[in-house]
Chain A
């Protein structure tokens, strides 16, 4: 498996996309730090990058890469190699390279300009979102038969989790505002990885406000490591489930 991962990584690095992604993150992070001396404000601006751009790039790159690697996958599959090994090698190679580009691109400036707890949490949630959306994009790729459709499905995932789902949550909260909604809203959030990553950031940036209106329930939930562990566990589920499904589909897929 390591051998195959090595060849895929080599292929990914050759396309320069990864380098451009890394450079984009690096430059925009440095620019934000230059514009603003305050680390917490930079983190807030970067949060938008992490919550929107990282999932988007992960989805688009993964689907394009998967279909560009079709020849390679085919070549591997006529060799005495397990299908799952080929698939997971693809998954790991894409995940590792996207994660590294993100961690280095955002992480290096953060370390240079001073890391604090919220900046580290930003790196963490960006990493988790990369893992989750690469996983989803693999699912989108195996569900479809051509590149354009796969990108379409991937973008749909992205759009749904970044925007549409939240609109639905807001609608629910608004409609049933006469009822106690703390648990419901938290449960709804659990069904969206972007929201989970956002909650991790809110725990850093807006803890004072979170302790406010929403009462004892949130206080108990968010105090200590409970919120962090809860979000991380759910994000891992969000990572494992799509790629698990994708593996099942791929192992039966006709090429």
Chain B
């Protein structure tokens, strides 16, 4: 009984979407085949809304192609659009445009304009799928374009200086975008969000970008899930936003002087849950961060797992694993208004007499010497020396430099298993 109901529902959904497809692409949709000798602009001119432009293999040295009607651009294997290092390649300025399977290379570079391989201006519902971008300045650049789907693209850039690079996927003032399974390497920022709301960034891999793997500002109510950010110049930065959900991401090997797995600045009412922070100089650096939940994260082999500036309050750190970090928590303040609870700290040396899996004495994660290093960074060359060991012991007995009330009252005895 129930099964037939479900089948009927599925059937209705199928018919409705088929109808929608027919209406939008037009029953008489035509396919145009393009070769490198043809002028793309002319074909675009002739094509009707809903038509498909199929690019056969070859290098198309044509640029500044402006599309103002809902077309489908399909690239066959080996179809390459080349901007000759001077121009923007595609400009999408209509709704419901699809760009799929194309390669883009050598867009122009400019310090004045954000030249991009694909630029979307007020283009809602664009679908940019499985394209390849080699050495483009900006890869995909959206402004004021809602409901975009950007999926399965590969973006690669190479340059020695930051000014020669644009962002991989750049969104400005967009809503409801979905950015899924893209791979971005070697750009300035892998993914850039400014004034973007209700959007999802999912399962992307952003590595070796010169500045941030993900750069995120003034963008509320977004989520980013299961992405990997590895080896970026300064990690991931999330700033001036609220309602951000960060789940299941990996922040890995972001090394450098001001490099963070995750930089949180002026963030409130957000979630950082089930992420992994592995071997970053600083796992999370937070400043002006409030009412944010940090649960189920794994901090492993970082220089500093968490750098908590005094401007943070009402955050909760609960059920996280801290293992193999040089320093677990460091703070510049004395008053601490955040909650630490039930975390596993591998540096904890307490005991559990009542066998409830939680230690019977509190753990103070702030190391005295890390406070010294806040003031004199070069002191790191003395880390793990006998001298520092003795100073630390002394500090544990008579706390003078570390905040006394920053502690986990119920530290867990064994690490959580997050696999």
**Which of A52, A166, A206, A213 is B377 in contact with, Cβ under 8 Å?**
A213
B324 at the A/B interface (Cβ < 8 Å)? yes
Rounded to whole Å, the gap between the CB of A234 and the closest CB of chain B is 14
Pick from B279, B378, B383 the residue with the most CB of A within 10 Å. Answer: B378
Task: Select the stretch in B7-15, B155-163, B172-180, B385-393 that faces chain A.
Answer: B385-393
In the assembly, what is the distance between CA of A40 and CA of B207, in Å?
A: 27
Task: Select the stretch in A85-93, A146-154, A214-222, A245-253 that faces chain B.
Answer: A214-222
Complex interface: chain A residues within 8 A of B388 (CB) = 166
* Contact bitstring B366-391, A, C-beta under 8 A = 1, else 0: 00000001011111111111111110
Complex interface: chain A residues within 8 A of B282 (CB) = 212
A206→B384 contact, CB < 8 A: yes
B303→A206 contact, CB < 8 A: yes
Complex interface: chain B residues within 8 A of A199 (CB) = 381
Contact residues of A between 162 and 207, Cβ < 8 Å to B: 162-163, 166-167, 169-170, 173-174, 177, 181-182, 184-186, 188-189, 194-195, 198-199, 201-202, 205-207
Contact residues of B between 353 and 371, Cβ < 8 Å to A: none
Rounded to whole Å, the gap between the CB of A129 and the closest CB of chain B is 13
Contact residues of B between 235 and 276, Cβ < 8 Å to A: 255-257, 259
Complex interface: chain A residues within 8 A of B62 (CB) = none
Complex interface: chain A residues within 8 A of B327 (CB) = 209
In the assembly, what is the distance between CA of A214 and CA of B303, in Å?
A: 12
Rounded to whole Å, the gap between the CB of B181 and the closest CB of chain A is 28
Contact residues of A between 112 and 146, Cβ < 8 Å to B: none
A209→B386 contact, CB < 8 A: no
B387→A48 contact, CB < 8 A: no
A79 at the A/B interface (Cβ < 8 Å)? no
In the assembly, what is the distance between CA of A142 and CA of B282, in Å?
A: 50
Rounded to whole Å, the gap between the CB of B348 and the closest CB of chain A is 11
A173→B378 contact, CB < 8 A: yes
| Chief secondary structure at chain A's binding surface | helix
In the assembly, what is the distance between CA of A167 and CA of B382, in Å?
A: 9
A212→B383 contact, CB < 8 A: no
Number of A-B residue pairs having CB atoms within 8 Å of each other in the complex: 119
A208→B387 contact, CB < 8 A: no
B381→A213 contact, CB < 8 A: no
**Which of A41, A47, A194, A210 is B380 in contact with, Cβ under 8 Å?**
A210
B256→A212 contact, CB < 8 A: yes
B281 at the A/B interface (Cβ < 8 Å)? yes
Chain B: which residue is nearest A180 at the CB level? B378
Contact residues of A between 55 and 76, Cβ < 8 Å to B: none
B346→A170 contact, CB < 8 A: no
A212→B259 contact, CB < 8 A: yes
Beyond A170-B387, A209-B326, whether A185 also contacts B381 by CB under 8 A is yes
B384→A209 contact, CB < 8 A: no
A51→B386 contact, CB < 8 A: yes
Chain A: which residue is nearest B415 at the CB level? A38
Beyond A38-B323, A211-B303, A212-B282, whether A185 also contacts B387 by CB under 8 A is no
Complex interface: chain A residues within 8 A of B343 (CB) = none
Chain A: which residue is nearest B256 at the CB level? A211
Beyond A173-B378, A213-B373, whether A208 also contacts B281 by CB under 8 A is yes
B280 at the A/B interface (Cβ < 8 Å)? yes
In the assembly, what is the distance between CA of A38 and CA of B391, in Å?
A: 26
A209→B382 contact, CB < 8 A: no
B104 at the A/B interface (Cβ < 8 Å)? no
Rounded to whole Å, the gap between the CB of A133 and the closest CB of chain B is 14
Pick from A51, A198, A212 the residue with the most CB of B within 10 Å. Answer: A212
B280→A163 contact, CB < 8 A: no
B380→A167 contact, CB < 8 A: no
Rounded to whole Å, the gap between the CB of A199 and the closest CB of chain B is 7
A208→B301 contact, CB < 8 A: yes
Beyond A166-B387, A210-B303, A211-B303, whether A186 also contacts B381 by CB under 8 A is yes
A211→B378 contact, CB < 8 A: no
Complex interface: chain B residues within 8 A of A167 (CB) = 387
* Contact bitstring B281-304, A, C-beta under 8 A = 1, else 0: 110000000000000000001111
Beyond A166-B387, A195-B385, whether A209 also contacts B256 by CB under 8 A is no
Complex interface: chain A residues within 8 A of B377 (CB) = 212-215
B346→A174 contact, CB < 8 A: no
**Which of A52, A189, A212 is B386 in contact with, Cβ under 8 Å?**
A52
User: What are some 25 contacts across the A-B interface (CB < 8 A)?
Assistant: A40-B301, A162-B386, A166-B385, A167-B387, A169-B382, A170-B382, A173-B376, A177-B375, A177-B378, A181-B378, A182-B378, A185-B379, A185-B381, A188-B381, A194-B385, A207-B279, A208-B279, A209-B304, A209-B326, A210-B303, A212-B256, A213-B380, A214-B380, A214-B381, A216-B257
Q: Which 5 A-B pairs have the closest CB atoms?
A: A209-B303, A213-B377, A181-B378, A211-B255, A208-B303
16 A-B pairs besides A208-B325, A215-B377 with CB distance below 8 A are A38-B324, A38-B346, A40-B324, A48-B389, A166-B382, A166-B385, A173-B376, A181-B376, A182-B378, A189-B381, A205-B326, A206-B384, A208-B281, A211-B256, A212-B256, A219-B257
